[in-house]
């Protein structure tokens, strides 16, 4: 299955309070005002989270400890999913 490649970013609607968009070269999602910014951040982080998990799985399947090799990628993806908060 293919998805729209990242990076995905978010921005708030200037005319509709609380509404956020997740975009790349096109709109991926329009998020409603209820937890909109947090939900948009989580959606926008999806490609980064998938990439980080795939990286960890490669190390696990190779019989290596993924903790040191993938930690920065995982931390970055988690921070993006949390709206930039570590």
* Domain tally, the chain: 2
pLDDT at 49 over 70: yes
pLDDT at 85: 59
Same domain membership, residue 40 and residue 51: no
Same domain membership, residue 52 and residue 28: no
Same domain membership, residue 10 and residue 40: yes
pTM, whole model, 2 decimals? 0.74
pLDDT at 68: 65
- Residue range of the domain that includes 23: 1-44
**Residue 45 buriedness (CB in 10 A; 0-12 / 13-18 / 19+):** buried
Same domain membership, residue 55 and residue 23: no
Give the closest residue to 68 by CA, choosing from 86, 56, 51, 80. 56
The answer to whether the beta carbons of residues 56 and 77 sit under 8 Å apart is no
Same domain membership, residue 20 and residue 37: yes
The answer to whether the beta carbons of residues 56 and 21 sit under 8 Å apart is no
**Maximum average pLDDT range among 38-47, 48-57, 60-69:** 38-47
d(CA 70, CA 58): 10
């Amino acid at each position: 299955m293919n998805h729209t490649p990242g990076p995905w970013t978010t921005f708030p609607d200037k005319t509709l309070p609380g509404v956020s968009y997740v975009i790349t070269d096109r709109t991926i999602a329009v998020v409603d005002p209820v937890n909109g910014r947090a939900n948009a951040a989580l959606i926008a982080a999806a490609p980064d989270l998938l990439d980080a998990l795939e990286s960890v799985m490669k190390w696990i399947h190779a019989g290596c400890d993924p903790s040191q090799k993938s930690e920065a990628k995982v931390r970055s993806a988690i921070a993006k999913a949390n709206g930039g908060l570590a």
